[in-house]
Amino acid sequence: MPDKNIVIVDDESDMAKLLKMDLELEHYHVAFALNGREALELIKKVKPDLVLLDISMPEMDGYEVLEKLKASESTKGIPVIMLTAKGLEQDIQKGLKLGADDYIVKPFFPGLLFKRIKSILKES
């Protein structure tokens, strides 16, 4: 699989760094942002092939980031996987309704996440 760009958006820097290392071992180019506002700037600059997006963050939550991504002509086609501890049915439905391509609840199995990433990147 060719190298693809992934942006991780998570306010827990340890989580983002660990995920970044794991994804780089899978030959992805990875950048991360620690809040929603920073994420939108980074996504516009990097133009990633996929975004992994947490929901609970300061300044702007993941739902708001997702809405802004899907409302913009330049970013609406970027696949988004919600990767969050918010696992209630209404949280999942809201994320999918706003345009997320997938929704994975933390804690998660890295192997499952990588399979979902590969599947979404093949489709896009």
pTM (2 d.p.): 0.95
Domain ranges of the chain: 5-123
> What pLDDT digit, counting tens, does each position of 66-120 carry?
999 999 999 999 999 999 999 999 999 999 999 999 999 999 999 999 999 999 9
Q: Which fold has domain 5-123?
A: Rossmann fold (3.40.50)
Closest CA to 30 of 40, 18, 44: 18
> What pLDDT digit, counting tens, does each position of 10-44 carry?
999 999 999 999 999 999 999 999 999 999 999 99
The conformation of residue 27, written as its DSSP 8-state character, comes to: T
Angle, vertex CA 8, rays to CA 21 and CA 11, nearest 5: 100
Do 16 and 8 form a contact (C-beta atoms < 8 A)?
yes
Predicted pLDDT at 59: 85
Confidence check: pLDDT of 2 > 70 = no
